[in-house]
Every structure is written in C-alpha cells, then in structure tokens.
Amino acid sequence: MKPGVTIVDPEVGELVTSFDMAGLSLTLCWLDDELEELWKAPADTPAVRKGNVNADQATAVEVAVAAGPQIPAATPESQYAAGRVLLALQAIRDVVELNADELGRIDAVAGDGDHGIGMQRGSRAAYEAAAAAVNAGAGAGSTLAIAADEWADRAGGTSGALWGLMLRTLGRRLGDDTVPTAAEVAIGVHEAVDAVRSFGKAQIGDKTMIDVLVPFEETLNAETGNGLGAAWQTATARAESAAAATAQLVPKIGPGPAARRA
C-alpha cells in the first residue's frame, strides 16, 4: 500500500454483482471522519449487511406499493396501432430469446457477459407490460411509454436505458389519437435515434448501436413514399448490412470510463 495511506475496514465479497460476470473488481473510497463513521456503522438491509444491528437501532421504513400505470384515453384508431406495436415488441422479444446466449458470449469477450440476460429481461418485461396496456385500452404512444419504462427498469445497464429512451421518444411522437402514418413513424424513429446520440455522445464509426441506428433511420425516412411496410423492410436490410460492416471497426467507446458515453 502507498505510504501515508491507511486501510480502514476493507470488505471482500459479492457486493455489486453482474449476471454472468467472471473475475473481480477493486474499489477504493477516500474517507473523511464522517464517512469513516458511517462506513463502519452496522447495517441490515436487503443489499448490505454489516455488524450487528440492535432492535433499538433499527429503523422501520414504510414502502408504498405503487399502483399500475395510468392509461390515458385513446381513440379506437390508436388502440389498433397499439396492437401493431405489441406485435413488434413480441417479435423483438422472440429474436432476443433465440439469441440471448450469443449476445452474452459476445459481451463476455470485452465485458461482463450480461448483455444477453439484460436484453432478455428487458424485452420480456416490455412485451408483458405492453400486452397489459393494450388489454386496458392504451393507445400506441402510451403502450410504447409503458414498455419503455419496464425495459429500462428490468434490463439494467446502459443498453436498458437506451432502449427505454428510444421507445419512449417514439411513443411521444405517435401519441394516442390516430393511426400513425409512415412519415410520422419515420420522424419518430429519427427523433429516437437523435435522443440516443444526445444521451450517449457516440458517433458513426465508434462501433456502437449508432452505426446501425443511423443507416436504419436515414433509409426509413428516404423510403416512406413506398409505404411503411416496404420502407421498414428496406431499412432493416440496410441496418443488417451496416451491422456486418462494424466487424471491421476498432471500438472507440467501450468498457471503462468511456462506457458512460456509449
């Protein structure tokens, strides 16, 4: 240990775990008198247990059980669109289920190997929440917003936050009043991609999801005159090509401090 540094009450154990993480991590915290006292104090919580907590030291915390999401009124047209949204979320969930192990394997090469499980948990939760919302009469915008919250909450990590951001941004554009046109969907996708770029600060060539999202939304916006279905298929093919091309890129944003920008 560096001269002049005093070790105070170290902890060794499974403290902040990841789903399939191997290896270990080391965390240092510089203490002042107040932090040292708090760090050494006994605690008995679901996440942290330390020392012995006497009955007179314990503090009961009343936890309110949150009610389910409020479903705003929606037109029949938007409720129909919500059904289409649900089918899309079901397709996403099914694809993730088939590829969860491979996503984890790829992530384990340079990360902690939990991306597959995170995507699986997020896509499942988003679909289930969306299904409940559709059954309750939600419109397309509200269905996407509810799915976004569940994906972000259950997936965890940066990818969970980004998927939640994309779904919520798209839902804000679609609203609960009409069947969205192809142009409105394309604009919503463009806004969702812009939100991800603003949040993560990644650029084309950094070897992130931006390298796939940008070609997808650019193609979608260019092809809307052919109808949403045809435009989506063309944009998907462009995205698949862009994804394959990232194999030749050197990652510029990844694990470590830079990961917060991805």
- Give the mean model confidence (pLDDT) for residues 183-206: 94
Can you name the residues that pair with 44 across neighbouring β-strands?
Answer: 49
Q: What was the pLDDT predicted at 200?
A: 86
Q: What is the pLDDT of residues 65-112, one digit of tens each?
A: 666 788 999 999 999 999 999 999 999 999 999 999 999 888 887 777
Q: What was the pLDDT predicted at 256?
A: 42
Query: What is the C-alpha separation between 233 and 210, in angstroms, rounded?
Result: 19
Q: What was the pLDDT predicted at 51?
A: 84
Q: What is the pLDDT of residues 218-246, one digit of tens each?
A: 999 999 999 999 999 999 999 999 999 99
Q: Name the token pair of 227.
A: 């109808």
What are the counts of helices (DSSP H) followed by strands (DSSP E) for the chain?
8, 2
Q: What is the pLDDT of residues 122-138, one digit of tens each?
A: 999 999 999 999 999 99
Query: What is the C-alpha separation between 207 and 90, in angstroms, rounded?
Result: 27
Helical packing angle, 115-135 and 140-155, nearest 10°: 150
Q: What was the pLDDT predicted at 257?
A: 33
Mean of all residue pLDDT scores within the chain: 87
pLDDT of 259 higher than 50: no
pTM: 0.76
pLDDT band at residue 64 using 50, 70 and 90 as cut-offs: low
Query: What is the C-alpha separation between 152 and 49, in angstroms, rounded?
Result: 27
Q: Please say whether the beta carbons of 209 and 196 come within 8 A.
A: yes
Helical packing angle, 182-200 and 210-222, nearest 10°: 160
CATH topology for 76-261? 1.25.40
Q: Name the token pair of 102.
A: 């491979």
Query: What is the C-alpha separation between 169 and 261, in angstroms, rounded?
Result: 19
How many other CB atoms sit within 10 Å of the CB of residue 59? 5
Query: What is the C-alpha separation between 63 and 142, in angstroms, rounded?
Result: 27
